[in-house]
Amino acid sequence: MENSQTTSRDLFPGALEMMILESLRRQPAHGYALVQHIQQRSNNLLQVEEGSLYPALQRLLKAKLVKAEWTVSPATNRRVRVYQITKNGLLHLEREISSFDRMLEGIQMVLGPQKRNANS
Amino acid sequence: MSWFDRMFRRQRLYDELSEELREHIEEKTEQLMRIEGLSRSEARQAALRAFGNLTLLEEKSRVVWQWSTLESIFADLKLTLRRLRRAPGFAVIVLLTLAIGIGANTAVFSVINSVLLKPLPYPGSNQLLGLRLDAPGAGGLASISNGLAVSPSMYLTFAEHNRSFQSIGLWSPSTANVTGIEQPEWVQADQVSDGVLQTLEVPPLLGRWFTPADQDPHGSKTAMLSYGYWQRRFGGDRSVIGRAIQVDAQTRTIVGVMPRGFRMVDNDFDLLIPMAIDRSKLKLAPFCCNGIGRLKPGVSIAQANADIARLIPLWMDSWSNGPGTDPHWYEHWKIAPNFRLLKSQVIGDIGNVLWVVMATIGIVLLIVCMNVANLLLVRAESRHQELSIRAALGAGRARIARELLVESVVLGLIGGALGVGVAAAGLRLLVSIGPANLPRLSEVSLDARSIAFTFVISLLSGLLFGSLPVWKYVFLRGSARLSGSGRTASQSRERHRARNILVVIQVAMALVLLVCALLMVRTFAALHNVDPGFADAPHIQTVSTWIPDQLITDEQTVTRIENNIIDKFSAIPGVTSAGFARAVPMDGNEPNWDNLFVQGKNYEGNNPPLRFFNYVSPSYFNAMGTRFVAGRDFTWTDIYNLNHAVIVSENFARETWGSASAAIGKQVRQSSDTPWQDVIGVVEDVHVRGVDEEAPATIYWPTMLRSPYEPKAPITASRFITFAVRSDRAGTASLLSEMQQAVSSVNANLPLASVQTMQEIYSKSLARTSFTLVMLGIAAAMALALGIIGIYGVISYAVSQRTREIGIRLALGAQKRELRWMFVRSALVLTGVGVFVGLGAAVAVAQLIRTLLFGVSPLDPLSFVVVPVILVLAAAFASFLPASRVTTVNPVDALRAE
């Protein structure tokens, strides 16, 4: 319970899913690799709660935005479940990104003048 | 993936998820070892730390796939079933009591549903009326089956002049001899007028209905078959239409077959015969027949009654009782229509009995629920700590309440499912032993409505007995009790209160049922103490026969044949006497009710009251064991000489002349046209309509006599008669076959019917009382048994919970006897309170069943004393057994256990 609350305070709802989809768009990956990837891409700014990754993955699976397949990882030679983004996932991701962009723009417009005032 | 797939594939999903998580941690561990150079165990610790609560995460991931509420109820369900499997004793006891309790309720409800609730099986049956009339001036005649029946002349007047009915018909149950087959066969051949089938609106399966032409006595003779008779006699041959059949020595053409399941209102018939209605010979009387009518749409029963009331004077103007009689003589009967729904006429007053039985069985189910609640409380008690811990760990009240309720509802539903089986078996038993006068018994079945009823009461029972532990452990207590250890907490009085209240209620309900059952037993005994007017009923064999005038025309010959049969019967070894009458007591026949004038009495222009008439042979009273109080029996000489002799009942003699002996030699007659008859004998009173009804003042006529109303046929014999044969072999097949041979040797065309001993007839007349008695008895026995179990349970639990306290007391020198008494006393206190509460309820309930009682007051002191004594003794016994377990307590062990 505590975990989920802190994560959702750090990230807005849907952010984690969006980042997972974006990572998978570049390259299919299994859970552990996704954690690594998101952390690297964000220059360790975003510390993904490893645990909360899996419920998110399950949600994406259920919504058919990603699909999963068991393969043997060539690096570690172990059985891993590799996730791949689906067509629906791609569409969803684009929609999410554009709405995120708009939101970000909106937030910046609201914050913008204040920033200027504070600076001046 | 559909939800359906998901249900089944979910397990795989979960497994994959677990594997995936394990894999993740493994990889992380290795990375930490590789990069940070930690040992494997350190790395693993760190990996797990980074991950958080693994189980919780797994659960949260799973949640994605669930409909959470339904899913967790399913989980509760699975848990419940598993828990029940682990406590088979508990499960069996609970399910068995529930199955019996719910099954009994289902069975009784099915009876109520079929008898009282279901409409009659005719289209638009709520428009069908039974036509009966009020006639307060007609005495006993109008009280036969709740009202005066309809005469054929009334039927014609009503049918032709009413404005309220679509159609009206007349019918009368009757029997006939069918000959021309190996053995003459006695069948149920109901007489029906044109209009009956049209009123019931059930089309024939084959052929056609009767038409007005069929009831013309001079027209062609026709008949219709029931489905059953068509199958039995003609093997379901469809070419049966147009074939001939010999009915009462008359050739009739079969014109139709009625469909399967069709009954003539409440009568199972073999044949339907058109009622011969000869308009030119019709009189005002006789009031012989059942009328039925179908209302026009929008016409109320009250309107129909008013409409017909208008036609009564017209009826009296249109017909007469013969030349010289006064057609308006019937005015003093004050005839008025009292039409009712056909269904309520069929049901009669059985509703009272059934609702009483339903209420009784309902109480038993309540007691069952109490008992189950009690058992659940015990279980909840032992789970008390578990529940407290769960509550402390944050399980919501609703969550725990739901789990407890799921458990009890599951128990209720399984019990209900088993109960359906119990009910099916019970109904089969009921229909086979069924009280003969329970109407519509053949229609009784477990239908969808009964099953729905079962489902609802199972569910309600589950919620009812489940709500008690919930209320007690969840809402009353919350999680505040974690601190107290189970043992110390159990000693508080408050903790026992719920279970004590349950026991008090059980005792009270058991008391109510036992009092009612005892009142019925007392009623039954009182009925058996009534002298019915015949003696040694098991040794009286009765058989009926019918000599149609198509077979033997001459009345003298009819009487001689009957006389011959009696002589042959008397010659059978072991037969001590034989005779016959037109009706034997309690067989439902009532040959006649008519006025009787007593010589020397002045009726001041009024008519004397109606008296019950029976027609008997010599030695009939002897065979029945009906005592002569004064005078003598008929002789065959009296019969053949048409002597003006009658025998009267004792109550008539006392009422008229003051004493039995004063009656001998006095004279009576039926009307001013008939000769005076000498009273030659007085016999004891006979309860013709059953021992619960007054014996009517009765006049016994010789079986052959001058007809008062038929100048052209001066003599009438009794053609429909019932023989009474007294023999130790009554009821045996050998006696019957010898009797059959005796009859055949006199006339081969006479079948024997209604073969039964007087004991059987007598028992049948008590069927309704015995039915109520048996049902109440069963209910009361169950209530008593459950009450005892309840007390036993409470005391033995108390003993087991207080072992330590007992040990201390013993160690301090308490006597075992005193300790035992301590427990027995608490049981007696509970019982005492229950008895006190129950006595109040019993007084009220006894008033409700007042109409079922006979010869016993609803406040019968004996019942109200015996039952509490029984209950107190039962309680003492039930508590003594567990209480004596204190003697097995070893003080040292008890203390050490702490």
pLDDT in tens, B290-346: 999 999 999 999 999 999 999 999 998 888 877 767 777 788 888 899 898 998 888
A14 touches chain B (CB under 8 A): no
Confidence check: pLDDT of A104 > 80: yes
Residue B757 has a pLDDT of 92
* B689 phi, psi to nearest 5 deg: -100, 20
Whether the CB-CB separation of B749 and B179 falls below 8 Å is answered with: yes
Helices (H), chain A: 2-10, 15-26, 31-41, 50-62, 87-119
Of B20, B51, B53, the CB nearest to A81: B20
pTM of the prediction? 0.70
Query: Shortest Cα distance from B821 to chain A (angstroms)?
Result: 56
B61–A1: do the CB atoms touch at under 8 Å? no
A51–B51: do the CB atoms touch at under 8 Å? yes
Chain A contact set for B27 (CB, 8 A):
32, 76, 78
Residue B709 has a pLDDT of 62
Residue ranges in chain B whose pLDDT is less than 50: 1, 478-491
Structure tokens at B216: 């013309």
Inter-chain Cβ pairs, chain A and chain B, closer than 8 A: 62
Beta-strand relationship, B677-683 and B645-649 = parallel
| Bridge partners, B579 (sequence order) | B724
A27 touches chain B (CB under 8 A): no
Query: Shortest Cα distance from A68 to chain B (angstroms)?
Result: 11
Chain B contact set for A79 (CB, 8 A):
19, 23
Structure tokens at B92: 């069996």
The whole-angstrom separation of Cα A111 and Cα A27 is 35
B64–A80: do the CB atoms touch at under 8 Å? no
A81–B16: do the CB atoms touch at under 8 Å? yes
Residue B476 has a pLDDT of 58
Report chain B's mean pLDDT, rounded to a whole number: 85
Q: Which SS3 state, helix, strand or coil, does residue B488 take? A: helix
The whole-angstrom separation of Cα B466 and Cα B373 is 6
Q: List, as ranges, residues 38-67 from B with C-beta within 8 Å of A.
A: 50-54, 56-58, 60-65
Q: Which helix (H) or strand (E) holds B470?
A: helix B448-470
Whether the CB-CB separation of B261 and B217 falls below 8 Å is answered with: no
Cβ neighbours, 10 Å, residue B713? 11
Q: Which helix (H) or strand (E) holds B701?
A: strand B698-702
Residue B495 has a pLDDT of 60
Query: Shortest Cα distance from B403 to chain A (angstroms)?
Result: 23
Chain B contact set for A49 (CB, 8 A):
52
Residue B710 has a pLDDT of 60
According to DSSP, residue B442 is labeled G
Closest C-alpha to B152, from B318, B304, B289: B289
Whether the CB-CB separation of B124 and B270 falls below 8 Å is answered with: no
Sheet holding A66-72, edge to edge: A29-30, A79-85, A66-72
Residue A9 has a pLDDT of 42
The whole-angstrom separation of Cα B500 and Cα B512 is 19
Q: Which of A54, A77, A86 to mutate to test the interface with B (most CBs of B within 10 A)?
A: A54
Residue B511 has a pLDDT of 92
To the nearest 10 degrees (0 to 180), the angle between helices B555-571 and B733-746 is 140
Beta-strand relationship, B128-131 and B340-341 = antiparallel
* B7 phi, psi to nearest 5 deg: -55, -45
Question: What are the tens digits of pLDDT across the range A66-82?
Answer: 888 888 877 777 788 88
